[in-house]
Each structure stands twice: as C-alpha cells, then as structure tokens.
Structure 1
Amino acid sequence: MSTNLESYVTEEMQIQHAEGVDESLKPKTEEGRTVGPISYMFMWIGDGVNLGNMTLGASLIVAGTAMLNIFQTFAAAAIAIAIISTFFALNDRLGYRTGIPYVVQLRMSFGIKGSVISSLLRGIPAIIWYGFQSWIGGTALNEIAKIITGGSFDNVVICFVVIQLVQIVLSLFGFHAIAWVETLASVVIMLALVYVFGILLTSHSDVIVEKWVHAEGSWGLPFFAFIMMFMGNYAAIFLSAADYSRELKSGISDKKRGFLYFSPILIAYGFVLTIGAMLASASGNSNPVKAFAIVVDNPYITVGVSVFIVIGAVAVNMVANIIPPTYVITLITKMKYKAAVTITGLLALGSFPWVLVQDSSAKGLGMFILIYSAFLGPIVSILLVEYYILRKQKVNVEDLYNEDGPFTGYNPCALLAMLIGAGAAFMKVELGWIIGVVVGGIAYILLTRFAFKDSKFKKGTIFEKIQ
C-alpha cells in the first residue's frame, strides 16, 4: 500500500501549496494518518450504538404489531450489513490510497462545480441527523437533570443547546478528538446496553416473545423495505467513506479494511436494532429514551442509562454527522475548518429534530431515510463506476484540485444519471436505494459512452478515444 501512496507524493507536494484550498481538504499525507485499525473499529462501534439506530429497530413495532418477526429482522440485518460492508470497502479505496476527502472525490465524476450539488445531498441529511441525535441526547440530559433536581428543572430545549455547544467545542479539535471520543464511548455504551438487554430478557421476555418473536411478520415488501431502510441509514456514511479512510494508517489491505467495517457494524448495529425492537415491544413506546424510563423503573439506573444515551448521541455525531457537512461548507464557502465546523453545529440547532422523535413519527424517520437515500444510491454507483470501470482505478489527483483543469464545470452525464436513478428510485421508494444504484450506474455508463461526445470528462476513461 505504501507504493500506492508514494505514486502520489509529487502531486501531494504540489497540492499542498495550492492557493484557495483549505488544509482540511488537501490530501492526507502518510505522516498525517494517525488512526490505527483498533481505533477505527471502535469508531464504527461508537457510531452504531446510538438512539437513531435504536429508533429504527423500534419502528418495526407499529401499534403493538411487529412488521417483521425476530428471524426476519435478523435475516434482513445480515443481508444489509453484508452489502454495506462491501460498498464501504469499495468506496473507501480512493480516499485511502490518495488521502483526498469525499467532496474532492466527487469532482472526478461530477466536475468541480457539479460536485457542489452532489455534496449537498450528503451534507444536508447529515445536518438533520446531527440535530436528531443532539435532541435525543438533550432529552436524556433532561431526564438526568429532572432526577437530580427533584423535578424542579425540566427543559429539553436548554439541554439540547448545551449538548450542541459541547459537540461544537469537541469537533474543533479535529479527527483525533473524534477517534478518542469514539473509543471511550463505544466501550461504555456497549456495557450499558448489555445491562439493559439483561433486564429486558429477565423481566419482559413474555411480552417480547408475544409481540416480536412469535409475530407473523412478512417476507414480502416490508422485509425488503427494511433492508433498504437499514442500508439507507448507512448510505450517507459509506458514500463519504473517503472522509474516514484518509485518516487510517497506511499498509492495510482492502480485505482487512472490509473486515474493519463488517465486524463493528455487525456487533453494534445488530445489537442496537435488537434492543430497539425489544424496548418497543416491552414498553409500547417508540421513543427509546422514554422506553428506557418505563422498562428501567429505578431513578439511579435511569440516570446511568441516560448518561450513556448522551455519550452515544455525541459519539455518532462525531463520526457520521459533523465531518461530511463541514467539508461541504468548507468547499462551498472557502471557510477554514474551525469556522465551518461551528456553522455545521449551528445549522443542526435549526433542523427541527423534535419532529422526528415524536412517538408517532418513528415510521416517518424511516421514510425520511428512504427518500434521501434515493439520491445517494445513484451517487455512490456513479463514483464506483467512474473509478473501477471507466478509469480502471487510475486518477490524477492533482487534476481534481486544478480549478482550470479537466474537471472544471459540470459533468452533464453524472448529473443526468443521478436524476434518472433518483427518479427510478421514487417509483418504488421502499426499494429506492437499490433501484437508484442499479439504474444510476447503468445510466452513467450509457450516457458517458453515447451522449455528449465532445465532453472533456471522457479524458482518462475507457471511452476517451471512442467518437
């Protein structure tokens, strides 16, 4: 792998001195990569053990009836995790080999100006998730404050703002702080969830068996829709896989990096989804924070669990919802990293997350995921087609940073393929992500081959000499 990195040394040296490019967007050098494999795994465990994923599990129980039983849930989860890990390992390769972030990777397919449009489709959902996770954390912090003050303090909005300010401060310290927070959070939260899992099994097993395990469920559209929702929940993250892999130490094979995604996602995501469904079955409430309070009827334990919920909300935001939109803001506004990361946090304050966490809206959260992932499926497909099929994994990184180079402007083929893929996805939104991937990828190949014959974006591709 060091050989691959060495091939970009000359380009990196030139890019490091490029004007108008913030340091955070320049390629990560080998010396600048400080995250090891273990920390990387813990980072993804920390990302997976969060209340958003738990709410997704809770959404399986609608009006006391399970849409999928336990066997169908696990089967759907296994299929989704396998697909997620594969896409992660494929899409992280360019960032890992060259050190470029996702917003620069987009220029390869969409062009320098076109990448702004596609990057917003990643950044906006991240900001909304940022606010959602912060609201969950604020709700848990409010539970702590109520118990400590004997009920004299009860203000979720103030707690939400406090959580948000803490996250903004932490994120100012960059990716190193993120990796540290994730390692600590993942260990603490998993221990807490094991405890809650034990309580659910010992005290609420009868109702869980009745409402979830023995439910009839469905192997039809609800089953496949949950797979799509499951993948859609990760679609934004593996789309911007370069933002994470560029921080990982060099010398790790493609297969090993795939394992670094599969294992933590399987452990964390599978466990959290299970507890979400169990909590909803046992309590009848789809808000995990309130469900915890019902199931764990002890103020001291509730405080402890709420602390872990707060940590979990911060942990997932630090990985999934802060860095990508920050890079988007830096790219569009030319702001420095610290200013952009602060703006990201302030935007999340105004994302109306309380709407998504209402008891009646767990299903709405799933629909939100399906809608935005309809656009993300075509984008990831276009990136993979570009890198693996059209360019055979050969990209001139310096050209991606050259405002007057071959990637200037918009690539109409990529933009049209994205819209075609998203349009097809909306025809059956429950299966939108996979439809968008297939249709978007095929459309991009055909458009690049047969349309816009004089397009400069064909340079360096297999269609360069075909008129």
Structure 2
Amino acid sequence: MSLNSESSVTKETQIQHDPGVDDSLKPRTEISRTVGPFPYMFMWIGDGVNLGNMTLGASLVVAGIATLNIFQTFAAAIIAIGIISSVFALNDRLGYRTGIPYVVQLRMSFGMKGSVISSLLRGIPAIVWYGFQSWIGGTALNEIAKILTGGAFDNVAICFVVLQVVQIGLSLYGFHAIKWVESLTSIVIMLALVYVFGVLLKSHSAVVAQKWVHAKGSWGLPFFGFIMMFMGNYAAIFLSAADYSRELKSGISNVKRGLLYFLPILVAYGFVLCIGAMLACATGISNPVKAFAIVVDNSYITVFVSAFIIMGAVATNMVANIIPPTYVITLLTKLKYKVAVTITGVLALGSFPWVLVQDSSAKGLGTFILIYSAFLGPIVSILLIEYYILRRQKVDVADLYKEDGQFAGYNPAAVLAMLIGAGAAFLKVELAWIIGVVVAGIVYLFLMKFAFKDSKFKKGTIFER
C-alpha cells in the first residue's frame, strides 16, 4: 500500500500485523480520528504554557543579568518557532497520511532492530521531562498544602508521588483524555498567567527593565545557542510528530498543519518565556514556583496560581511526555498500552528531576536539553531525507509491520549516520541540534548511495539497483 497524497489517510485495516503488536501501534483509520483543528491547537497551547518552558526563560538570567535582552530573546524565539513548525509539518506527514506512530515510522530508515536504539533516544528524555514536570507540579502542590495546613505539612516528595499517581490514572484513558485535559487547562492557565504578568509589570517593572529589557545581551554564540536550546526543547516532540498527527482529522493541508503548530507555540511559548525571565529578574530564583510565591505575596492568589501550575504540568505531560515513551515500551516489551503507560509513570518517579534545576540556576536543564538534542537532530534528519528524497513520499506501510519483511533487522547506514552526526554535534554542544542535522543528513545520503551495496533498505529508494 503506497500512500503519497493528502487524501490517502488509511481507511481500512487489512494490514498483516504481527499478532503480538498492541492495537495502539496499528495504523489509525480515518474513522478513529477524533481530534479537530481547534482542539489540536489548544493541545499545543497547553503543552507550551508549562513550567519547563518558563524555567528555560529563567535560564537567560545568570548572576542577576540576562545573557540576551528582550529583543534578542524574542528574535531567537521567533526564528526557532518558525523552524520548529516547519519540521513539525514535514515530519508529521507520514503519520498523518498513514496513521502509523513514530516507533513504526523509524523502521523505514533504521529497521525493526535499529529502531530500538532510536526509539529509546526519544523515550528516555520524555521520561526525564515527565519526572521534571511532575516535580515542578509537586512543588506547587506542596505550596498549596503548606498554606492550607498553616505550615504543618511541607513535603515536596510526597506531593510529587501523589501527582504522579493522578497522572498515571489520567493517562490510562489514552489520547482522548489528552484532548479534553488540554482544551480546559490551556484556556484557564493562560488567564492565570495574564494575571501574573500584570503583577510583574506593576510591581517589578523597574528591575526587569534594568536586568533584561536594557541588558546588553549578545548577537553571538549566546543568541544562536538559545535558538538551539529552544529547538532542542522541542526536538523530542517534533521527532515523534506522527504520534500526534495520526490522531488529527483528515483533510487538512500541509500549510494549515504548519499553522496549527506555529500559532499556538508562538503564543504560549513566547508568553511563558517572558514571564520566566521576568520572575528570575525580580527574585533571583530560577525555580518559577518558588519565585511565584515571592512575587505574589497573597496566600489566596498563591493557591490559585499554584493550582494552575499543577494543571500546566499535567497538561504538558499528557501531550509530550507520556504517549511517546509508552509506545516505545509497548513496542519493545509487547505489553498492553495500560500496563506500559503505568510503567512509564513509575520510571518518571526515578528520574531525579530536582538535579536539573536548583534555586540559583537552571543551567542543568539547558545542558540536559543540548545533550539529548545532539542525538535527536540526526534522527529527524535521517527520517526526512528517507521520506522526501530517497522514497519520494512513497512507503509500503504493510512492510513496516512484517517481522520478516524488507525492514527486518537494522540499517547500518542509518545507525552510523546517527552516531557520526551526534559525535559531530558534541564538538560544539551549544549548536548541537543544527550540527547533528546537517552532518547526519550528508553522511546518510553518502552511505545509502555508496556503501552497503546489497542492503535491502535500498529497495524502493532512488538508489535501488
């Protein structure tokens, strides 16, 4: 079954699957897609208005002064979001047309065995982010508990575990639960953040102007490094774009899908970046939850804001950090979806998220993003070159599910290109993503054309002999 047009959304299920494959990994048919354009946009707004992105904004403030001024910050953000949206719309196309998830898409380039490594490189960062978002949410829950008990209760670890149990329960209901959680929380959280933004402008505008707006900043490596960190923050999400687009209703053009990413990410991400930088300037604290408690010196308002911080953490995890690693676990272990999603939640408990962000600095979070994006940049480059250049958007979906078919085993060209691209990225970790993309793409084309002449992975490509 070759699919190469926007109208070719999978309409039947006559694909010979391995009987051990869980239903969650089989292609989504047109009738099973329930997410429309507006809920899809709200989903990405809900993903963007989170404490991880706010902490990224706070990371701009080092030793009390911002490394980029406000103009440089938003210039870098718009450039990054434009690239992110373009890559999203390009990489989501196969999933949108065929209904397959990311872990199956990987087989096209890496093979069934090779996709194990590349899928883990997507799944592991998502689990760490899952734990980090939950820790931030647990911190907010602890602030509420302290206020309600008059200080008698103060234990972030317990709140962290409680919140994680709640999220595991929600995630058992799958992508349909995500749609409703995101639509509700994205609107409410944005309203809460508008209030916080007003408080910061009213009470801390002078210090924010001094430390961020009028900072000298830089148009050099820090500027481009922030673009790479920004993109690295989304690298794992747009890499597994198929996991989301396969749930989107059919009939939406490539350009419109690109806007479904660009507009909500621009609104949500730009807003929370701004608030994160302002909070760090005003308080000198990189943890937004603790900074909120200082800026909003009112226990009732603190409870209100903290509640929406918790909702934001849950919303982000539901979109970005639960489904992808769950699919990976399902693929590798043959476990059912509900068991795999529970394991994902338990693993996130052991991710030590408190190590990434200290009160004085969020540098650990930025370093973590740059390191894993060194691997994810090469993978997305290989997938795009495979689909658009080598296969000219024609893929036999049935073969992707055959244990003894063309994609059995592993493709050495893809594995080598990924490793070489990642190795090159580490030579300049501040620019890891773009270096990995360029190097891996060139190496993959070279290897597919000139090396491994008898490779079965050349079948159906422009290099087939």
Query: Normalising TM by the smaller chain, what interval?
Result: over 0.9
One-letter amino acid matched to 2:223:
F
Provide closer, same or farther for how the CA distance between residues 20 and 277 of structure 1 changes in structure 2, counting only shifts above 3 A.
Answer: same
Structure 1 equivalent of residue 169 of structure 2 = 169
One-letter amino acid matched to 1:187:
I
The runs of 5 or more residues in structure 2 that have no matched partner are none
Structure 2 equivalent of residue 373 of structure 1 = 373
8 Å Cα contact 1:330-1:340 kept in structure 2: yes
How far apart are residue 4 of structure 1 and its match? 4.9
**1:199-220 CA-partner distances (Å, limit 9, x unpaired):** 1111110000000000001100
Q: Does 1:30 align with 2:43?
A: no
How far apart are residue 114 of structure 1 and its match? 0.3
Q: CA RMSD in A?
A: 1.2
Q: In structure 2, how many angstroms separate the alpha carbons of the residues matched to 1:372 and 1:336? A: 28
Aligned residue runs from structure 1 range 183-332, under 5 A? 183-332=183-332
Q: In structure 2, how many angstroms separate the alpha carbons of the residues matched to 1:14 and 1:462? A: 25
Provide closer, same or farther for how the CA distance between residues 334 and 451 of structure 1 changes in structure 2, counting only shifts above 3 A.
Answer: same
**1:28-66 CA-partner distances (Å, limit 9, x unpaired):** 000110000000000000000000000000000011011
Q: In structure 2, how many angstroms separate the alpha carbons of the residues matched to 1:2 and 1:229? A: 34
The runs of 5 or more residues in structure 1 that have no matched partner are none
8 Å Cα contact 1:58-1:278 kept in structure 2: yes
Structure 2 equivalent of residue 42 of structure 1 = 42
One-letter amino acid matched to 1:13:
Q
Structure 2 equivalent of residue 459 of structure 1 = 459
How far apart are residue 2 of structure 1 and its match? 11
Structure 2 equivalent of residue 409 of structure 1 = 409
One-letter amino acid matched to 1:315:
A
8 Å Cα contact 1:5-1:98 kept in structure 2: no
One-letter amino acid matched to 1:443:
V
SS of match in other structure, 1:238: helix
8 Å Cα contact 1:107-1:114 kept in structure 2: yes
One-letter amino acid matched to 1:430:
E
SS of match in other structure, 1:462: coil
Q: Which runs of 4+ in 1 moved over 6 A?
A: none
**1:176-198 CA-partner distances (Å, limit 9, x unpaired):** 00110011110010000000000
Q: In structure 1, how many angstroms separate the alpha carbons of the residues matched to 2:442 and 2:273? A: 33
How far apart are residue 360 of structure 1 and its match? 3.6
SS of match in other structure, 2:263: helix
Provide closer, same or farther for how the CA distance between residues 462 and 186 of structure 1 changes in structure 2, counting only shifts above 3 A.
Answer: same
**1:356-382 CA-partner distances (Å, limit 9, x unpaired):** 121244011101000000000000000
Structure 2 equivalent of residue 54 of structure 1 = 54
8 Å Cα contact 1:355-1:361 kept in structure 2: no
Q: TM-score, normalised by structure 1?
A: 0.98
One-letter amino acid matched to 1:337:
Y
Structure 2 equivalent of residue 13 of structure 1 = 14
8 Å Cα contact 2:67-2:218 kept in structure 1: yes
8 Å Cα contact 1:2-1:250 kept in structure 2: no
How far apart are residue 5 of structure 1 and its match? 5.3
SS of match in other structure, 1:423: helix
Structure 2 equivalent of residue 87 of structure 1 = 87
8 Å Cα contact 1:77-1:227 kept in structure 2: yes
Identity fraction in percent: 81
Structure 2 equivalent of residue 159 of structure 1 = 159
Aligned residues: 463
**1:125-172 CA-partner distances (Å, limit 9, x unpaired):** 000000000000000000000000000011101100000000000000
8 Å Cα contact 1:2-1:251 kept in structure 2: no
Q: In structure 2, how many angstroms separate the alpha carbons of the residues matched to 1:277 and 1:239? A: 27
Q: Does 1:120 align with 2:115?
A: no
One-letter amino acid matched to 1:91:
N
Structure 2 equivalent of residue 339 of structure 1 = 339
Q: In structure 2, how many angstroms separate the alpha carbons of the residues matched to 1:193 and 1:60? A: 19
Structure 1 equivalent of residue 355 of structure 2 = 355
Q: In structure 1, how many angstroms separate the alpha carbons of the residues matched to 2:337 and 2:435? A: 36
8 Å Cα contact 1:72-1:223 kept in structure 2: yes
Q: TM-score, normalised by structure 2?
A: 0.98
How far apart are residue 7 of structure 1 and its match? 7.2
Q: In structure 2, how many angstroms separate the alpha carbons of the residues matched to 1:370 and 1:378? A: 13
8 Å Cα contact 1:5-1:30 kept in structure 2: no
8 Å Cα contact 2:285-2:361 kept in structure 1: no
Structure 2 equivalent of residue 182 of structure 1 = 182
Provide closer, same or farther for how the CA distance between residues 183 and 456 of structure 1 changes in structure 2, counting only shifts above 3 A.
Answer: same
